[in-house]
Chain A
Amino acid sequence: MNNNVIQGTNLAKIYNKGGGGEVGAVQNVSVEIRRGEYAAIMGASGSGKSTLMNILGCLDKPTSGSLKLDGIEVSTLTDEELARVRNKKIGFVFQSFNLLARTNALENVELPLIYSDKTDISRLARHALESVGLADRVHHNPSELSGGQQQRVAIARALVTDPEIIFADEPTGNLDSKSSLEIMALFQQLNEKGRTIVLVTHEPDIAQHARRIIQIADGRIVSDEVNPNPRVAEQEMSALLPKEVAHENR
């Protein structure tokens, strides 16, 4: 079987500007993501990270280029078929969590499953919540959860369909440093168990947790390197602990 989960070739996304000009949000990008990889896409604001991720995640269609997901060419699929692909093969984590308000954690995690042909969705959702350490928050609404916990619910939602790949766009953008590290630790755990993850961030400290870092600027890849010494979030957390305690006691 194909070892590349994602294979994008000459991908471009051109937007028309109001004045008549064009913006190349993504320009001629070729990239492949292998099974089990943990890659970070890094770049300044407006460099095209989100646009690229949305294309790779089948949320958006490229203006041109080819994209293969799990060996299947997706650029020619219908909206209906793309919805199937997103449901089965892709999990998303967003900066603003995007949980349904007034809906408890369990039902939020069940959301992708109700659009699948899976049965026993409640058990699967519970299991996913357990795997992100929220077994005791199953019936809490988002408003009753901390930011970090909300993001973990969102990660459980991304995991619940057992997707080929998880895309996370600035997943720590709305979180404090401790919660950010918790999320990073969770991603590292998932990756160690074999989950393929693509992380989008503009923060170098966050990107350093990935094992591969792709830099983009003005819609183009400017570097694509293996990260020889990824940060280990678990270790950073234990280093952070005494400081936090001291901080709180002051």
Chain B
Amino acid sequence: MKTGRVLKVAFKGLGKNKLRTFLMMIGIVIGITALTLIVSAGLGAQNRVMERVKKFGLESMMVFAGAGREVGQPTSGQPATTLSLEDATMLKQEIKTVADVAPFGRKGQSEVKFQEKSTTTTVFGVTPSWAPVWDWDAAEGDFITDEDMSNLARICVIGPTVQKELFGTANPIGEQLRIGSVQFEIRGVMQAKGTSPAGGDMDDRIYIPLTTFMRRVANVDYISAIKIRLNTSKDMAKTAADINALLRERHKLAVGTPDDFTITTPTEVTKMAEKVAGTFNIFLVLVAVISLIAGGVVVANIMLISVNERRKEIGLRKAVGARRKDIIRQFLYEATAVTLTGGVIGIVLGAIGAKILEAFTQMPMAVSWESVALGVVFSTLVGILAGLQPAKKAAALQPIEALR
């Protein structure tokens, strides 16, 4: 029998018993809706991470002071005091793949005052290379210069969030503000950057020359981290190993002692984010798959019952010339038509649900061809598996059944 004809027969069979078809479909619709939602949420989360990684820069690396630092995790315990400005200079000099370095110190929870207004923000001591390495410059006014560095100048560049909090819409350039007890002149306002890979507000910052920071604000002789720009995104592992070796040597770490710094590459950031998204996904996908299996069992059961109810029909079809495989195909197609239709409905509902969730919560959702394909594949698979047993049972009936 031609496929078109079998399909017609299968769909007609379903149309004739709408309640039965609906009952068979409902579980699949729910399962595929859940699956679509979950996959969209997972992909949305992954996309967001990828965006952030791109913001961080694919040809970049980070060296943090202190061991075992993870992205997004606050440094635990005492701050590491071993990473120096000299280290940064040497990295740039000694390692060929390192194009530029941006060493910086940071001090969180610093009080900043302008006239009567005050706010708490993070102060960053940076070098002029901050701008090219992060690809992040002043939007208005100017950024920190080499001169500022050697003069220990008391100038600063503020982030848009700080600007908004202290100045509203007024022009802050040229104004004086106080960080702790030290007075600074505002030189510029940074470009807005939004959320960091760790999820913090990257615009709630004040930048001052690193030298000024070390001497006058934090009063330390070490730095917090070095952002490194590479010539290439290839061979990251090799570069990371070179950096590691150089720093260990400079810090005089004996063989066997752990690193007193942490190197983070974008690959690592991506991997970690994927790991987090992955565990979240696998668990939820499992829930969706279980609900699909339950839906499949319902389809199989209702189909088995319907085979009993339809003995006469099957017998008659065989009496007029249907072969075993014609009957098998009819029932398989019926089951698959049910689950696939349910699947398509589920995909549509899931996509709509994803859009609604995205609008009402901050959850990023990505309805992609992957989730559509997954829905189609899963619902077809469930249909074939659920239809197999009923189809075999139907095909095994003898034609004389039609006469009884």
Q: How far is the CA of A86 from the CA of B398 in the complex (A)?
A: 13
B2-16 interface bits toward A, Cβ cutoff 8 Å, 1 = contact, 0 = none: 000100010010001
Residue of A nearest to B316 (CB): A98
CA distance A30 to B5 in the complex (A): 40
> A94-B403, A114-B9 are known contacts. Are A88 and B321 too (CB-CB below 8 A)?
yes
Q: What's the least CB distance linking A116 to chain B, in Å?
A: 7
Report if A76 contacts B (CB, 8 A): no
Q: Is A187 an interface residue (CB 8 A)?
A: no
A129, chain B: closest CB distance, angstroms: 16
Name the interface size band of chain A.
Answer: 20 to 34
Q: Are B322 and A83 in contact (CB under 8 A)?
A: yes
Q: Does A123 contact B (CB under 8 A)?
A: no
Known: A102-B16, A103-B12. A115 touches B399 (CB 8 A): no
- Contact indicator B317/A111 (Cβ below 8 Å): yes
Give the distance in Å from the alpha carbon of A47 to the alpha carbon of B72 in the complex: 89
B389-404 at interface with A (beta carbon < 8 Å): 398-400, 402-403
The distance from the CB of B403 to the nearest CB of chain A, in whole angstroms, is: 6
How long is the Cα–Cα vector from A112 to B5 in the complex, in angstroms? 12
B154 at the interface (CB under 8 A from A): no
B326 within 8 A of A: yes
**Residue pair A59, B321 in contact (C-beta under 8 Å):** no
A157 touches B320 (CB 8 A): yes
Nearest CB of A to B108, in Å: 74
Distance (whole angstroms) from the CB of B185 to the closest CB of chain A: 87
A-side contacts of B12, CB under 8 Å: 103, 107
Whole-angstrom distance between the alpha carbons of A115 and B5 in the complex? 9
A60 adjacent to B400 (CB under 8 Å): yes
Closest chain A residue to B403 by CB distance? A94
Please determine whether A112 and B400 come into contact, CB atoms closer than 8 angstroms: no
Determine the chain B residues whose CB is within 8 A of the CB of A92 once the complex forms.
319-320
In the complex, are the beta carbons of A86 and B323 less than 8 A apart?
no
Cβ of A87 under 8 Å from chain B: yes
| B residues near A59, Cβ cutoff 8 Å | 319, 399-400, 402-403
Question: For B5, what are the chain A residues with a Cβ–Cβ distance below 8 Å?
Answer: 114
A115 touching B322, Cβ below 8 Å: yes
Interface assignment of B312: CB less than 8 Å from any CB of chain A: yes
- Shortest CB-to-CB span from A58 to chain B, Å, is 9
Q: Is B324 an interface residue (CB 8 A)?
A: yes
Q: A98-B316, A100-B313, A115-B1 are in contact. Are A86 and B402 (CB under 8 A)?
A: no
Shortest CB distance A170–B (Å): 10
How far apart are B146's CB and chain A's nearest CB, in angstroms? 86
Is B318 engaged at the interface, CB distance under 8 Å to the other chain? yes
Q: Which residue of chain B lies nearest to A157 when distances are taken between CB atoms in the complex?
A: B320
- Are A115 and B403 in touch, CB under 8 angstroms? no
Q: Decide if A115 touches B402 in the complex (CB within 8 Å).
A: no
Supposing A98-B316, A114-B9 touch, asked if A169 and B323 sit within 8 A by C-beta, the answer is no
| CB nearest neighbor in B for A86 | B321
A196 to B402, CA, bound (A): 23
Cα of A157 to Cα of B16 in the assembled complex, Å:
21
Q: Does A54 contact B (CB under 8 A)?
A: yes
State the Cβ distance, B206 to closest chain A Cβ, in Å.
Answer: 77
Q: Which of B1-57 contact A (CB under 8 A)?
A: 1, 5, 9, 12, 16
Q: How far is the CA of A119 from the CA of B206 in the complex (A)?
A: 81
Looking at the assembled complex, report how far the CB atom of B263 sits from the nearest CB atom of chain A, in whole angstroms.
69
Q: In the complex, what's the smallest C-beta–C-beta distance from B329 to chain A, in angstroms?
A: 11
Q: Which residues of A contact B399 (CB under 8 A)?
A: 59-60, 86
Within 8 A of A (CB), among B315-370: 316-324, 326
Q: Which of B16, B316, B321, B403 contacts A116 (CB 8 A)?
A: B321
Q: Is residue A139 within 8 Å, beta carbon to beta carbon, of the partner chain?
A: no
A80 at the interface (CB under 8 A from B): yes
Given contacts A102-B16, A114-B1, A115-B326, is CB(A94)–CB(B320) below 8 Å?
no
A79 on interface, CB distance cutoff 8 Å: yes
Q: A98-B312, A100-B313, A103-B12 are in contact. Are A115 and B400 (CB under 8 A)?
A: no
Residues of B within 8 A of A98 (CB): 312, 316, 402
Question: With A100-B313, A103-B12 known to touch, is A169 a contact of B320 (CB < 8 Å)?
Answer: no
> What's the Cα separation between A92 and B402 when bound, in Å?
11
From A54, A60, A112, B320 is in contact (CB under 8 Å) with A112
CA distance A32 to B142 in the complex (A): 111
- B321 and A87 contact, CB distance less than 8 A: yes
Q: Which residues of B contact A94 (CB under 8 A)?
A: 402-403
Cβ distance A59 to chain B, nearest Cβ, rounded Å = 5
Using Cβ atoms and an 8 Å threshold, which residues of chain B touch A86? 318-321, 399
Given contacts A54-B400, A54-B403, A60-B400, contact A115 B323 (CB under 8 A): yes
Q: Residue of B at shortest CB range from A102? A: B16
Question: In the complex, what's the smallest C-beta–C-beta distance from A121 to chain B, in angstroms?
Answer: 9
CB distance from A200 to the nearest CB of B (A): 11
- CB neighbours (8 Å) of B16 from chain A are 101-103
Q: What are some 29 contacts across the A-B interface (CB < 8 A)?
A: A50-B403, A54-B403, A59-B319, A59-B400, A60-B400, A79-B323, A80-B324, A83-B323, A84-B321, A86-B318, A86-B321, A88-B321, A92-B320, A94-B403, A98-B312, A100-B313, A100-B316, A101-B16, A102-B16, A103-B12, A107-B12, A111-B316, A111-B320, A114-B1, A114-B9, A115-B322, A115-B323, A115-B326, A116-B321
Given A59-B319, A102-B16, A115-B320: 5 more A-B contacts, CB < 8 Å: A59-B400, A80-B323, A86-B321, A92-B319, A111-B316
Closest 5 A/B residue pairs (Cβ): A87-B321, A112-B320, A115-B321, A83-B323, A102-B16
